[in-house]
Every structure is written in structure tokens, then in C-alpha cells.
A and B are shown apart, each in its own frame.
Chain A
């Protein structure tokens, strides 16, 4: 039963519950118009304390396509947050007006606090460098659609793995499916946080941490690229030094298998060359489209509308 639940962490829902969302997303993809009035009269609040284009648009488009309405802010300067209001007070107020709340926040764990004070479902749309569970739903739906399975995969994650919340969420979610293994490709300074590898070790899941993409790309089923995010760094020098270290281009793609797929949460800032956009293994734009449909399915399920 997903009605009334929060989504704060990609493992908040069981694999069976995720399948329920994915199956419903597949139905929406087949016939979107059939669901145009599913959430009539419901309101989604989007509280974006940090800049976002695609995640916010994706949520707003999802709610509008379900027939619901949207209220919210896209930067804290234009809200009561600028006056110093706490997350708890903002949520208690917004929950009086909205049926479901989406929150992006620069501080890690802020959506969990929101959930503790909210009588309506709260969805984490990204908290600092921590987690991004709805991007993970998008990623899982993409993998499921292309590979027809979520098990037995060799998943390579490349780039900024320290602050890359989409990677943390993806590893956490896919490590629950049997047979998956991980290859973590990054400079030493941007390796995944200790809690991520501690989780893998505790579950006895194989992973390797390497520095060179060329050495491992030929073994991968999935290559998940990430950008080095300027806003996650405390100083400009570190950002400039590391931002272009891992660039995927046609030359590297020649080393990859014919059935490997390239994914990216977008936006990219140079880590994937434009010369591979037409490669049939490049899935990042198709992935973006899945994002809206899976968010439609999620909203409908949490509201109990489906």
C-alpha cells in the first residue's frame, strides 16, 4: 500500500512496491491521455530550496498531466525561508494547502525532517550530495525497459561519486537486486562516501574502485556518467582541477560492449561528448522522458488515486 507514504530514500519501497510503480508508469506511457484526470482537484507543492530545471519541471508537468494543480517556489529567496523560517514550520504550513509535497534542499536529511512534520506525503527531490530517489526511479525504469531485468548487472558509475547523490541512490537501490556488481570509477578525491561502501561490504556485494574508465569500460552492462557539480565544492580550485577528468567520447565507446547502455541524470557539462549522442547505446535523453512518467505514477500512487 503506497497511499500516504513518503519517499525519502530509494529503499523506502520494497522491490515489489517499485514494480507496482513501474508497471503503472508503463501503462501511462502506453496511453497517457487516459490518465489526464486521475488527480483532478489535488495540489502538489514544490519546495525547491536549490536550483533545478528538469526535476522541478518534470514534477510539475507530471502533476499537470494528471489533472492536478501546482504551487510552490523555485528559490528560497522568494519565500518565507528568506525570513529564517525553519523547515518544520514551512512544512506544517504548506501541508495545510497541498495534498503532496516535493522538496529539494541543499542540506542532507532535510526532507526527512519535513516528513516528520507533514501529514501529507513528502517526496525527496534531492538533498545536498546525499540522495535523489526519484532520479533512481527514473534510472530503474530505464534499465528495466532496455534490459528487461534489474538483476545480474555490472554497473559502472563514473565521475563525481562523492557528491553525486544520483549515484548514491542508484547503488543503494540496485544493490537490493541479486547478482548486481559495481565498478566505481573516480579520482581518489571524489570516491563514494564510506557509508556507501560499508553498505555494499555488509551485504557481501562485489565492488571495485578504479581511477581509469578505459580499463573497465569493456566489462560494463551499464555506464552511469555524472557531472562534477560546482555547487558541491567548498573551493573553486578543487572544482577546476577535477571537472574534466572523466570525459566519455567516441574513442572510449569503441572499447565498450555493443549492448552496454550509457546513462546520465543530466544536465551534462562536458563529461559526455556530443559525438556519441547518436550512438544507439546512449540512453540519457530517453531516460529523461521516463522521468516524467515515473513521477506521474509515483504521485498517483502516493495520493491513492490509482
Chain B
């Protein structure tokens, strides 16, 4: 059994769909962190079967929106003195700029580099965003 100690003060990102933890880890820049960080992959989960977890021993500020765009079902637990003092469920924003990149090779954003990648939420239930320029659909957790 893998044992990772609980953290005293910091943040635990829980219920990450297995396989997406590493993407979140790099997106948050945790590979460059100078404080204790743990990425747990494929942990057993009653709800998900398998899940990833990220534990951060530091009260960092980060963009919750960005986490929602990778996996909207994560739970963010804020820890103080080894207790959860706050739980956050990130919500999908209506409008995102320069967080998602358009993957359509024919989209104008692939050549006009000064143009921001702008996406608008079109279906909250399915987590679908649409590129402002070419209408390409980005599905959260799949793309």
C-alpha cells in the first residue's frame, strides 16, 4: 500500500479522472515547485473506480477555471492545520481566452499568432466549448 502523509497546510485536488492528473500537474507548473507536492495516480475510488489526486503543501493561488477545463468534476480541498476548511467545486466559465487552444489546423488562430484563442461555452452539461473563429468544438475532459 502506498502511503503519502497528510498535509498540514495547503491544497488537495481530489476526484481527478484517472489519467488527467499529470496534465493538471504540469498546467499548474507544479513540476517547478520548491515545496512538497505529490501526484498520486490511479488511486482506488469508490465513485470513479480509479482517480488521480494532487497534494500541495503550500497555500498557492491558482486558476480554478483552468482546472475545470481539464476535469470539471474535481474537488479542491483547502487544508489548514490538517483539517479541510473549505471545499471548492470549480464551475465551467462561460467564456475563456487563451486557456484552450483550437486544434483545427484550418482555424485562423493557427497562423495569425497575435490572435487570442477565444472559446464560448455552448453546452454546460456536455462541457462543450466553441471556437469563436472556426466553430470547432472542444469537449472538456476529452480533447
Contact = CB atoms under 8 A, between A and B. Distances in A.
A182 B36 CA distance: 57
Given A113-B115, A193-B135, A87 B130 contact: no
B110 interface: yes
A193 B135 CA distance: 9
Contacts of A106: 106
Contact of A195 (B106, B107, B136): B136
A76 interface: no
A195 B130 contact: yes
Nearest to A106: B106
Give the interface size bracket for A toward B.
20 to 34
Contact of A110 (B108, B114, B135, B136): B108
Contacts of A202: 122-123
B121 to A, nearest CB: 13
A88 B108 CA distance: 12
A128 interface: yes
Contacts of B136: 193, 195
Interface in B17-63: none
Contacts of B130: 195
A202 B128 CA distance: 12
A194 interface: yes
Contact of B112 (A87, A193, A198): A87
B134 interface: yes
Nearest to A112: B133
Q: Of residues B107, B109, B122, B134, which shows the largest number of chain A Cβ atoms within 10 Å of its Cβ?
A: B134
Interface of A: 86-88, 105-110, 112-113, 127-130, 193-195, 198, 202
Given A86-B114, A110-B108, 15 more contacts: A87-B108, A107-B106, A107-B107, A107-B108, A107-B111, A108-B108, A108-B133, A108-B134, A109-B108, A109-B131, A112-B108, A112-B132, A130-B106, A198-B128, A202-B122
Interface of B: 104, 106-112, 114-115, 122-123, 128, 130-137
9 tightest A-B CB contacts, nearest first: A109-B133, A108-B134, A107-B108, A109-B108, A110-B108, A128-B106, A195-B135, A109-B134, A108-B106
15 contacts: A86-B112, A87-B108, A107-B111, A108-B106, A108-B135, A109-B107, A109-B108, A113-B115, A130-B106, A130-B135, A193-B135, A194-B137, A198-B122, A198-B137, A202-B122
